[in-house]
Amino acid sequence: MTRVYVGMSGGVDSSVSAALLKQQGHDVTGVYMKNWTQDLPGMKCPWAGDLADAKRVAVQLGIPFKVFDFQTEYKQKVVDYMIAEYQAGRTPNPDVMCNQEVKFKVFLDAALADGAEKIATGHYAQVGVFEGVSALLTAVDAAKDQTYFLYRITEAALAKTIFPLGGLTKPEVRQKAAALGLATAVKKDSQGICFVGKVGIKDFLQQYVHAKPGDVVDKKTNKILGQHDGAIFYTFGQRHGLGVGGGLPYYVVGKDMAKNIVYVTTNLNDENLWRDELELAHLHWINGAPQPGVTYQVRMRYRAPLIKCKITKISESGLRLKLEDPERAITPGQSAVIYDGNRVAGGGIVV
Which residues are tagged catalytic?
Answer: 98, 194
The residues with which 279 forms a beta bridge, in sequence order, are 320
Residue 229: burial class (beta carbons within 10 Å; 0-12, 13-18, 19+): middle
Determine the Cα angle at 34 with ends 173 and 65, to 5°. 60
Q: Decide: 322 and 276 in contact? Cβ < 8 Å.
A: yes
Q: CA separation (Å) from 208 to 36, 44, 78, 200, 238?
A: 15, 17, 14, 14, 22
Number of neighbours of residue 275 by Cβ within 10 angstroms: 16
Q: What is the CA radius of gyration of the chain?
A: 22
Rounded distance between C-alpha atoms, residue 178 and residue 160, angstroms: 29
Q: What are phi and psi of 209, to 5 degrees?
A: -125, 150
Rounded distance between C-alpha atoms, residue 313 and residue 293, angstroms: 9
Return the H-helix or E-strand segment holding 253.
strand 251-256
